[in-house]
C-alpha cells in the first residue's frame, strides 16, 4: 500500500488540479514519498539510519507555449494563486513547446519486500561478514558493508489520471580495502533484490570472492595500452549497454539534436548477435516502477535488434515533440528536479555461446570484470567505460596476470560491431546510479551476458 | 512542516537520548531550461529538508542514528521516530566521541534582496549576449539560481546559520566541421551573479568547442613522455580533493592514507592551507556538518604534510589536540611557477576524469587537448592519458596563472611529466 501521507493528499491534489485548470491548459501533480533504511558497518564505525529521503510534490502546468513547475513539501493549504504567483515570469525568450495530451487512466500498483528483517538481524549479518573478512587475511585493513532498503510511494494526479504505486528495492554492498606496505587496493561488490533476506544471502555468498580478488589486485599492474580481443563479464557488458546505446537513445537528446542515433534508426549500429533492451517493465530490478514521473505506464523497449537500431526511449514531452509514443522513461531525481528521458533497466540480451569457447578463441587478450564507471558521448559516439580489473588471456587460457583498472575507449559503433560471441545467461545488476551529464542521479540497473569483442584498452 | 522550535522541544523532552544534532536546509530556487534559444520550462523550488542525528551512550560506547522530519510529521510521529532511532543507535555502537561545544555562534542570513526569478533571467540574458559566435552555439542551457539557508544546532548549545546564493548553469556548446557536429560541456557555479565571468566563460567554451571540431589525432604531433601535461578544472579539483583525503583523520583511522605527518607529499615545494571561506569558491562554508567553526589549517608546508584535519569523530579517535572540522576548500601557494613558453599539452576536457584514491590511478579519455608546439596551439582529440597521482605529484610543477574553482584557489595548472599517453 502507498504511504498514508500521500494517500491523504490525493483529494487535495484533485482540488488543486481543478483550480489550476482555470488558468492553465495542462496541470498535473506528482507526489513522492521515499523512505530508506540504511545500515552501515565498517571496520571503524557503524550506524543504522531510517530516512524519509523524499516527501513532497511537484506541480506542472502549461500555458503560452512553455511549462512551469512548482516544487514544494506539501500541497494541503496551497491554493492556485500561491502557485501562479510563484511561477509566473515575464520572459523575453521565445516559447513554443506543445501541450501534453493524456488518456484516461486510474490504477493502483504495488510490489513489496516479503521479508521484514529486524535492525538487529541486519546488523548481525553485516557485522559477521566484516568479521569474516578481517579474520581471513591480515592484509584486509578496511571492510565496509551496507544494507539499504528503499520504499518508494508515488501518486500522479491530473485531469485524466489518478495513479498510485508502491515499490520496494533492497541493496547490499561489500567493500574491502587491502594493504601491503604502501600498496593499497580496493574491491567491492553489490547485489539488489526486492527481498531483503535474499539480498543479504547473496552478499554473504559473494564475500570470499570479493576478498580474494582484492588480494590479487595487490599484484595488479597497469595495462599496456593497445587494441585487444576482450571478453566482458555481464557487469562490464551492462556498463557498455548503458553508456553506448542507453544514453545515446534518450530521445530528449533527439529533440535537442544532440544525438547521432536519430540518423541511424533502422540502420546497423552493431553486429548481428547484438540485441539490447531498456524498460522499467523489462525485468524486476532497481528501476522497475509501474508508471513514470509523467504518469506513463512502464514499458519494455527493444533498442537494438540483431544489430539494427530500432528506436529510442522517451519521456512524455519528447515523444510528443517527435511524434512517437512515450516509452515510460520520464524520470526525476526527486520532486525537487525536472523530468528528463532516463534509462531504467538496460541490458544486452542472451546469445548462444559459452564463456569457455570465448576464452579458447583468444590468442592474446583480456577478460574484463567489474563495472566501475563510464561516460557517454551521444553526439560523437565516443565511449569511456572503466572495468575494475582485467585478467590476461594467452593462447586460449586465463593467466594469473591481472591488470587494473582498465579503461575501454574509442568508437561506440566499432566496439558494438566487433562483438562476435554472446553467452547464454543474462545477469542484471540492480545497484547502479546514473547521472544526466553530471547531475540528476537516478537508480538504474544494467547487465547482459558475457560478450566477446575487440576494444582499445588503456 | 514543524518549525525548529517545535522540533527542538520534542528532542529536549526525550530523556532516552544522550545528545542530538539538528540540521535544516531551506532551499528557494528559480530555474530556467532552454533548448537552443527557446525557453522550454521554468521551475520554482521552495523546500525544507530537516535531518536529526540522535546519539545514545551505552557504557563507554556511543551509537547514532539519523532520521528526517518531513511535512508528514507532527509531534506524535516525531516522538515515535526518535524512540525508534534511539533503539537503532543502541544496536550499532562505536567508540565514544563528543559533539561540538563552545563554538562561537555564526549567524549569516541572506543579504540578497532581488527575486531569484529576476536573477535567473539576468543570467539567461548574459548567456544569450555572449552566445554570438558565428562558428559555435549553445545547444541546451539550464540555469539554477538558489538561496540555501542551513541552520545547525546541537544539544551542546551550538547554533549556526549560513545562507548562500548560488548561480549555476550547465550548457552544451556545439560546433560543426565538415558537416559533422561536435559538442562539449560547461558547468558554471558562482556564489554571486557575475555577468562578466558568465560572459567570459561562455566565450571561452564556444572557442574550445570549435577547437574540438577541428581537432586532430595525437599521432599528428610530436609528443613524448617528457612533454609537460597541464591539467586544470575538474581534474585539478580531483587532485586537490585526493591530497585532502590522504591528510584527513578518517584516512588515518582507516589506515588508507598515503601521506603521513612530517613526510613529503611532493619533492616540489608548495603549501596547502585549508579554509572555510575563499571568495568565489562555491563550496565555501563557515561550519562543518557537526557545527565545528572552520578556521585555517595548513596541512602541507614546502611539500611536507604538517597537519591532519577532519571531523570530530575521527579527530577524537586520533586524540587530535584541536579538532579542525571538515574543510570544503583549500588554498595552494606554489613556491616556484612555470610560464607556458615551451612545448606542452593542455588537457581541456576529459570524457570523465578519474582519480582512484586507493591505487592512485588517474586520467581518462581525452575529448579535447591543445598541444603548444612552441609557436601555436594544435587541438587534439581521441587519446587517453593515465598515470599514478602519488608518483606524478613528486615532481609536479605549477603555473604562474592562478584560478579560483569550487574546490581551491591557487595555480590554474598542475603540470606533470612522464604520464602514459596512448
Distance from CA of B61 to the nearest CA of A (A): 11
Three-state secondary structure call for residue B382: coil
Set of chain B residues whose Cβ sits within 8 Å of the Cβ of A95:
38-40
- Contact status, residue B174 vs residue B181, Cβ threshold 8 Å: yes
Q: Side by side, which strands form the sheet with A276-278?
A: A308-309, A301-305, A276-278, A345-348, A439-448, A427-436
Element (H, E) at A16: helix A10-20
Window B:64-83, CB contacts with A under 8 Å: 64-68, 70-72, 81
**Residue A249: C-alpha distances to residues A316, A317, B142 (Å):** 15, 15, 21
Spatial distance between the Cα atoms of B413 and B409, rounded to a whole number of angstroms: 11
Count of CB atoms situated within 10 Å of the CB of B104: 8
Give me the pLDDT at residue B4, please: 97
A316 closest CA partner among A437, A80, A107, A158 = A158
Grid cell locating A366: 583480456
> Does A177 touch chain B if contact means CB atoms closer than 8 Å?
yes
- Contact status, residue A97 vs residue A255, Cβ threshold 8 Å: no
The answer to whether residue B9 scores a pLDDT higher than 80 is yes
Q: How many residues does chain A have?
A: 458
Tell me the mean pLDDT in the region B276-303.
Answer: 94
Grid cell locating A147: 544494507
Sign of CA dihedral B95, B96, B102, B107: positive
A344 — pLDDT class (breaks 50, 70, 90): very high
ipTM of the complex: 0.93
DSSP sequence for B96-137: --PPP-SPPP-B------S-HHHHHHHHHHHHHHH---SSEE
Spatial distance between the Cα atoms of B293 and B166, rounded to a whole number of angstroms: 21
- Contact status, residue A48 vs residue A77, Cβ threshold 8 Å: no
Q: Where are the alpha helices (DSSP H) in A278-335?
A: 316-322
Residue A405, preceding bond cis, omega within 30 degrees?
A: yes
Spatial distance between the Cα atoms of A67 and B43, rounded to a whole number of angstroms: 8
| Subunit contact A438:B185, Cβ cutoff 8 A | yes
Give me the pLDDT at residue B193, please: 93
Question: What is the rounded radius of gyration, in angstroms, for the C-alpha atoms of chain B?
Answer: 24
Q: Which residues contact A31 (CB under 8 A, 6 or more apart)?
A: A6, A9, A13, A56, A57, A75, A154, A155, A156, A157, A335
Nearest chain B residue to A321 by CA: give it.
Answer: B40
A92 DSSP 8-state letter: -
Spatial distance between the Cα atoms of B42 and A87, rounded to a whole number of angstroms: 7
Tell me the mean pLDDT in the region B121-146.
Answer: 95
B360 closest CA partner among A236, A220, A438, A188 = A220
A247 DSSP 8-state letter: G
Tell me the mean pLDDT in the region A359-376.
Answer: 92
Give me the pLDDT at residue A399, please: 97
Set of chain A residues whose Cβ sits within 8 Å of the Cβ of B89:
47-48
Tell me the mean pLDDT in the region A217-244.
Answer: 94
> Does A188 touch chain B if contact means CB atoms closer than 8 Å?
no
A443 closest CA partner among A36, A117, A91, A131 = A36
Spatial distance between the Cα atoms of B108 and B149, rounded to a whole number of angstroms: 9
CB crowding A251-288: b at 16 or more within 10 Å, else e? bbbbbbebbbbbebeeebbbbebbbbbbbbbbbbbbbb
Q: Average model confidence (pLDDT) for chain B?
A: 95
> Does B40 touch chain A if contact means CB atoms closer than 8 Å?
yes
A449 — pLDDT class (breaks 50, 70, 90): very high
Three-state secondary structure call for residue A188: strand
Nearest CB to A97: which of B27, B40, B139? B40
Torsion of CA B296, B302, B303, B305, to 10 degrees: -50
Q: Which tens digits make up the pLDDT trace of B143-169?
A: 999 999 999 999 999 999 999 999 999
Q: Which tens digits make up the pLDDT trace of B179-215?
A: 889 999 999 999 889 999 999 999 999 999 999 999 9
The answer to whether residue A376 scores a pLDDT higher than 80 is no
Nearest CB to A66: which of B40, B71, B128? B40
A408 — pLDDT class (breaks 50, 70, 90): very high
Tell me the mean pLDDT in the region A313-326.
Answer: 94
Three-state secondary structure call for residue A423: strand
Spatial distance between the Cα atoms of A48 and A50, rounded to a whole number of angstroms: 7
Nearest chain A residue to B314 by CA: give it.
Answer: A44
A94 — pLDDT class (breaks 50, 70, 90): confident
pTM, 2 dp = 0.94
Tell which phi-psi region holds residue B399, choosing left (phi > 0), alpha (psi between -120 and 50) or beta.
Answer: beta
B111 — pLDDT class (breaks 50, 70, 90): confident
Amino acid at each position: 500500500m502507498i504511504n498514508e501521507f500521500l494517500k491523504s493528499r490525493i483529494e487535495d491534489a484533485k482540488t488543486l488540479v481543478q483550480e489550476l485548470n482555470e488558468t492553465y491548459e495542462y496541470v498535473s501533480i506528482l507526489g513522492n514519498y521515499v523512505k530508506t533504511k540504511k545500515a552501515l558497518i565498517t571496520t571503524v564505525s557503524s550506524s543504522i539510519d531510517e530516512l524519509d529521503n523524499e516527501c513532497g510534490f511537484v506541480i506542472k502546468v502549461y500555458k503560452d507555449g512553455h511549462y512551469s513547475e512548482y516544487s514544494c513539501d506539501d500541497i494541503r493549504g496551497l491554493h492556485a494563486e500561491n502557485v501562479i504567483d510563484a511561477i509566473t515570469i515575464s520572459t523575453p525568450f521565445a516559447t513554443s513547446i506543445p501541450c501534453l495530451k493524456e488518456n484516461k487512466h486510474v490504477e493502483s500498483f504495488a510490489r513489496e519486500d516479503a521479508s521484514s528483517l529486524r535492525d538487529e538481524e541486519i546488523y548481525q549479518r553485516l557485522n559477521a561478514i566484516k568479521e569474516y573478512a578481517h579474520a581471513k587475511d591480515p592484509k584486509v585493513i578496511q571492510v565496509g558493508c551496507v544494507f539499504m532498503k528503499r520504499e518508494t510511494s508515488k501518486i500522479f494526479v491530473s485531469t485524466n489520471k489518478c495513479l498510485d504505486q508502491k515499490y520496494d528495492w533492497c541493496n547490499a554492498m561489500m567493500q574491502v580495502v587491502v594493504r601491503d606496505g604502501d600498496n593499497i587496493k580496493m574491491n567491492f561488490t553489490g547485489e539488489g533484490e526486492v527481498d531483503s533476506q535474499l539480498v543479504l544471502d547473496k552478499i554473504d555468498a559473494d564475500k570470499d570472492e570479493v576478498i580474494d580478488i582484492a588480494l590479487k589486485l595487490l599484484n595488479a599492474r597497469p595495462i599496456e595500452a593497445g587494441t585487444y580481443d576482450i571478453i566482458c563479464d555481464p557487469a562490464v557488458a551492462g556498463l557498455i549497454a548503458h553508456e553506448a546505446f542507453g544514453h545515446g537513445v534518450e530521445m530528449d537528446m533527439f529533440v535537442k539534436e544532440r544525438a547521432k542515433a536519430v540518423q541511424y534508426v533502422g540502420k546497423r549500429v552493431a553486429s548481428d548477435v547484438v540485441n539490447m533492451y531498456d524498460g522499467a517493465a523489462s525485468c524486476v530490478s532497481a528501476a522497475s516502477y509501474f508508471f513514470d514521473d509523467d504518469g506513463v505506464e512502464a514499458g519494455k523497449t527493444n533498442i537494438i535488434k540483431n544489430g539494427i537500431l530500432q528506436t529510442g526511449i522517451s519521456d512524455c514531452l519528447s515523444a510528443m515533440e517527435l511524434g512517437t509514443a512515450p516509452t515510460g522513461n520520464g524520470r526525476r531525481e526527486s520532486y525537487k528536479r525536472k523530468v528528463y528521458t532516463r534509462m531504467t533497466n538496460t541490458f544486452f540480451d542472451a546469445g548462444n555461446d559459452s564463456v569457455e569457447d570465448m576464452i579458447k578463441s583468444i590468442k592474446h587478450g583480456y577478460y574484463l570484470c567489474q563495472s566501475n564507471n563510464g561516460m557517454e558521448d551521444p553526439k560523437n559516439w565516443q565511449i569511456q567505460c572503466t572495468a575494475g580489473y582485467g585478467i590476461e588471456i594467452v593462447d586460449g587460457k586465463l593467466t594469473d596476470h591481472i591488470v587494473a583498472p582498465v579503461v575501454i575507449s574509442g568508437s561506440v559503433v566499432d566496439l558494438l560491431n566487433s562483438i562476435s560471441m554472446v553467452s547464454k545467461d543474462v545477469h542484471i545488476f540492480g545497484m547502479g546510479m546514473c547521472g544526466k551529464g553530471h547531475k540528476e542521479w537516478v537508480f538504474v540497473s544494467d547487465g547482459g551476458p558475457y560478450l566477446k569483442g575487440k576494444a582499445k584498452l588503456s | 512542516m514543524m518549525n525548529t522550535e517545535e522540533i527542538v522541544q520534542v528532542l529536549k523532552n526525550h530523556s532516552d537520548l544522550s545528545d542530538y544534532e539538528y540540521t535544516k536546509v531551506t532551499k528557494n530556487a528559480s530555474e530556467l531550461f532552454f533548448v537552443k534559444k527557446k525557453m522550454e520550462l521554468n521551475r520554482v523550488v521552495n523546500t525544507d529538508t530537516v535531518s536529526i542525528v540522535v546519539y545514545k551512550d551505552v557504557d563507554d560506547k556511543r551509537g547514532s542514528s539519523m532520521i528526517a522530519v518531513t511535512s508528514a510529521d507532527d509531534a506524535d510521529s516525531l516522538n515515535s521516530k526518535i524512540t525508534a532511532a534511539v533503539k537503532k543507535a543502541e544496536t550499532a555502537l562505536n567508540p565514544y566521541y563528543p559533539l561540538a561545544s563552545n563554538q562561537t555562534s555564526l549567524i549569516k542570513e541572506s543579504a540578497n534582496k532581488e527575486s531569484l526569478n529576476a536573477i535567473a533571467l539576468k543570467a539567461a540574458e548574459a548567456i544569450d549576449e555572449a552566445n554570438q559566435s558565428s562558428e559555435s552555439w549553445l545547444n541546451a542551457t539550464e540555469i539554477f539560481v538558489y538561496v540555501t539557508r542551513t541552520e545547525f544546532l546541537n544539544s551542546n548549545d551550538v547554533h549556526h546559520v549560513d545562507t548562500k546564493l548560488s548561480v549555476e548553469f550547465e550548457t552544451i556548446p556545439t560546433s560543426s566541421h565538415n558537416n559533422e557536429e561536435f559538442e562539449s560541456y560547461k558547468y558554471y557555479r558562482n556564489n554571486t551573479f557575475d555577468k562578466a565571468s558568465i560572459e567570459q566563460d561562455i566565450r571561452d567554451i564556444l572557442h574550445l568547442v570549435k577547437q574540438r571540431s577541428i581537432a586532430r589525432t595525437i599521432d599528428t604531433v610530436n609528443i613524448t613522455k617528457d612533454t609537460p601535461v597541464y591539467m586544470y578544472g575538474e581534474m585539478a579539483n580531483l587532485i586537490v580533493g585526493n591530497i585532502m583525503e590522504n591528510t584527513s583523520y578518517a584516512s588515518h583511522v582507516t589506515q588508507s592514507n598515503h601521506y603521513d605527518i612530517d613526510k613529503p607529499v611532493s619533492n616540489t615545494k608548495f603549501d596547502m592551507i585549508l579554509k572555510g571561506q575563499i571568495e568565489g569558491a562555491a563550496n565555501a562554508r563557515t561550519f562543518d556538518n557537526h557545527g565545528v567553526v572552520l578556521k585555517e589549517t595548513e596541512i602541507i608546508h614546502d611539500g611536507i604534510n604538517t597537519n591532519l584535519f577532519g571531523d570530530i569523530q575521527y579527530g577524537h579517535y586520533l586524540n587530535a589536540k584541536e579538532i579542525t572540522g571538515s574543510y570544503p576548500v583549500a588554498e595552494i601557494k606554489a613556491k616556484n611557477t612555470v610560464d607556458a613558453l615551451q612545448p606542452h599539452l593542455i588537457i581541456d576536457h576529459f570524457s570523465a576524469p578519474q582519480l582512484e584514491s586507493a591505487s592512485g590511478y588517474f586520467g581518462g579519455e581525452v575529448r579535447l587537448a591543445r598541444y603548444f608546439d612552441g609557436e601555436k596551439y594544435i587541438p587534439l582529440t581521441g587519446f587517453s592519458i593515465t598515470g599514478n597521482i602519488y608518483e606524478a605529484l613528486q615532481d609536479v610543477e605549477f603555473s604562474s596563472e592562478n584560478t579560483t574553482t569550487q574546490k581551491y584557489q591557487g595555480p590554474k595548472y598542475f603540470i606533470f611529466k612522464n604520464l602514459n599517453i596512448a
